[in-house]
Chains A and B, each alone.
Chain A
Amino acid sequence: METMKMWKLLPVVLILTIAPVGMAQELKKEFIDTQGQESRSAAVKVKGGTMLFLAGHTASQPRPDADLGNFDAQFKAVFEKIANTLAKAGGNLDDIVSMSVFLTDLRYAPQFQKMTKDVFKKNFPAMTFIEVSHLARPQSIMEVQPIAVLP
């Protein structure tokens, strides 16, 4: 009799153990030490989700008509391209958790930070600014390499 009762419990045990496996892991993001003035967080902690590693994006394509000499124009073109890449992967700009920003002139960093405020609606990603001598194309004055985590 005792054994019969235990066997009857088996389906319940099985369902309870399978339940967490079947459930998709929920994405949890925590933004640490966000500095609104610099439009960045010191760190972003992420559990779950799907990672997306983006290439370095520059303002060269698909807008050959863009005024590449102008910082604001390059910024807009770069983030348009990044948004496009993210959209193709099923995400959007708010999914970015980290960005490496390579500039040929770091004096543009404050302008980059200012324009970044309009890119992210809720939280700012981790960000690193580096000045480099040259980028792949002579007209490029910035290259942005993001990492995103999609829900």
Chain B
Amino acid sequence: MTAAKRLAVFVVLYFAPVFQPIYAQNREMVIPVPQSAYSQAVKVKGGTLVFLSGVGPTDEKGALLAPGDFPGQVRATWENMRRIMAKAGGSLDDIVTMTVYTTERRWGETFTDMRKEVFKTGYPSSAFMEARKLLTPGALLEIQAIAVLYD
């Protein structure tokens, strides 16, 4: 092997760790529970974090959408989250965890069914609980989420 070749091999090996993070899997769903559309844990490495405020079924002025209609409120909430995630440069699929507050926990199954339609690349970790009251009167759910974006 000539010195030039040795140098080339050395430089390639030297740079390898620099490029490794680009190829490495940087998000892993731990123990997915597909029937309830969530994962017991999501493992992430690196990336840009996005912390979302609680998002509910409201229009831009904060007025309630789809009063009394839980599926309609879920759709409106996904739409609002989608809009915020787009502004952050991402999408709903970048969400790694969510806390779902509902005023009636009997909506749990409807909610998880609707979550199946939204997440296509793996389910976030999640907690679902009944709150006594939400900030918007008449809102049946509010979702607080954290997302991780990769360049």
* A residues with CB within 8 A of B: 2-3, 6-7, 10, 13-14, 17, 28, 30, 32-33, 40-47, 51, 97-98, 100, 106, 109, 125-133, 147, 149
The reply to whether the CB of B9 lies closer than 8 angstroms to some CB of chain A is no
A131 touching B51, Cβ below 8 Å = no
The reply to whether the CB of B36 lies closer than 8 angstroms to some CB of chain A is no
Chain B neighbourhood of A41, CB < 8 A: 53
Known contacts A2-B4, A45-B88, A126-B53; 13 additional CB pairs below 8 A are A3-B2, A3-B3, A7-B3, A32-B87, A43-B50, A46-B51, A97-B51, A98-B53, A98-B146, A106-B134, A128-B142, A129-B54, A131-B134
* B residues with CB within 8 A of A: 2-4, 7, 11, 14-15, 18, 48-55, 84-85, 87-89, 99, 101, 131-135, 142, 144, 146, 149
B52 touching A42, Cβ below 8 Å = yes
B134 touching A6, Cβ below 8 Å = no
In the complex, A116 Cα to B15 Cα: how many Å? 48
A43 touching B14, Cβ below 8 Å = no
In the complex, A45 Cα to B146 Cα: how many Å? 10
Least Cβ–Cβ distance between A125 and chain B, in angstroms: 7
